[in-house]
Structure 1
Amino acid sequence: MTNQTALDKARAALEAVEAELAALQATKSEAARDRASFDEWRAKSAAATAEHERLIALIETLKQEAAADDALEAEAALRRRYAVKVTANAKLATRIKSDVAKANAIMLGLVRDVWESAAEDVEINAALPDDLEPLVPADFIARGRPGLERQELKRTRVWLWVNSRGGGLIGDQDVVTDHGDGRGRIGQGPYTVICTHALFDQAEYHPAESAERPEALWQMRLPRPDGPGFAFDGTRCNYPSDALAEIALRARAQEPRKRPTEVELRPVPSVAVNEEAA
């Protein structure tokens, strides 16, 4: 039987003893009418009280033991989880190296193609005849957002209140009191504003939107699959041609190289000069 099972049984027994003590307390007055009955009642009460005390002590002990068991089980579960995670991390590390290397190969090849395409676009556009539109770069076609012209949706004519002196449009048309014949007022006394009706063309439209150019593809960063740093760092490139130089630089940086060897000297103060001679 586990400590938790024993604890549950002890708690159930304690509830039964507490119910027995409550029942004995209810019969105390009746048992007191006869000496023999009271002696019997007192013996039962003493036994139930002693059992109640024993069960309380037992429950405290079992609670501590059950808590210790739970702690051991939690530690064992953590160790099992740790072992599984060590294996999972090793598998994921292998996948990171493999997948990042594959992704970098694809992206670096794409950077070269984009640069070559952009260079050819510039060359062709510089020699275009007047009847041909300049080439749109492939990178912009794929990732850019072209500009949009204003698009009118609806046009109507409306009468609106304006200031009769300057002709300025009244912002809140509802505050004008209409006096007929195209005339109105705002306020009273010296602060009165005289208004007149004016005819306006009202157009509902989608506003024009400027073109949005994407950040150059050759300015991205690609992490190394097998170490810190970057396999390609486009943030160092100010021009498309710099990207090819960066690719070549990173390729040379990843070539196997011999580790440097250095010599360090430290004095040993505990060794005397005569010991060296010996």
Structure 2
Amino acid sequence: MHIIHTVSDMRAFCAQSRSGMAAPSIGLVPTMGALHDGHASLVRAARADNDIVVASVFVNPLQFTDLGDCDDYRNYPRDLDADAEFLRGLGVDAVFSPSVEEMYPGFNTAPDRHPQIWVRTGRMGEILEGASRPGHFDGVATVVTKLFQIIQPDRAYFGRKDAQQLAIIQALVRDLDMPVAIHGLPIVRGDDGVAESSRNLRLSVDERRHATALSQTLFGLRDGKFASADEAAEHLASCEGVELDYLRIVDPADLRDVPAGTRQALALTAAWVGPVRLIDNLALEAHE
């Protein structure tokens, strides 16, 4: 397995890989590291579908508050050696782990500290998570666009836990005519129902127990325990250790709120549990 740190070397690896076989396919699994079983499911899908699998490990400052000048960015778990071993065991061909300076030249030295050109995500990036984290999805769309430009994958794999991110990336590829097939993989949950997330590493034992309220509420909404999203939100907000941000029911394609009785809707929630912001979602066949 190759561990690659520069854009030029990553491009060279992809070019060489493509020249060595007839019509080879490259699958990309973009990550920010701190890998878990959810990431493993993405890599396994990529491995099954493609001749070459590349995983990126890059904690992208553009998608954090104040361009990474915040505790959330500074405290985000980083362990490239452990991530590399994890990916090697899954049969990944190359890991792309650039520095911030490599991805955004001048980021740490230029007065503005950020790229001059961004990918703006408009309404889809300003609601839900975007309302609480302004600019977050512009940062996501910008780094994903750069990764697609550098690696030029045939397919890219994302988890459905980040449902808003997935919808935005699907729109990005569609609207900008990028020749990349986007694959969304199901949420992987722990035995307690908590959606796998790199941020879970920062939860204490008690906070992990409190975090189960998110998935329990979503499953309760799906199963008819709550008459509406508002009732489910009221319940979740009352749970011990949970500071609710939102619980909404939306169309999974465009993230617009949907009327009662809509099929194939998606329930989305976000909440703080201790110092950690968690998100979760669940597909609904119908809701009241």
TM-score (norm. length: structure 2): 0.16
Higher relative contact order (CA 8 A, sep 6+): 2
Structure with bigger strand share is 2
- Give the structure-1-normalised TM-score: 0.17
Q: Whose helix proportion is higher, 1 or 2?
A: 1
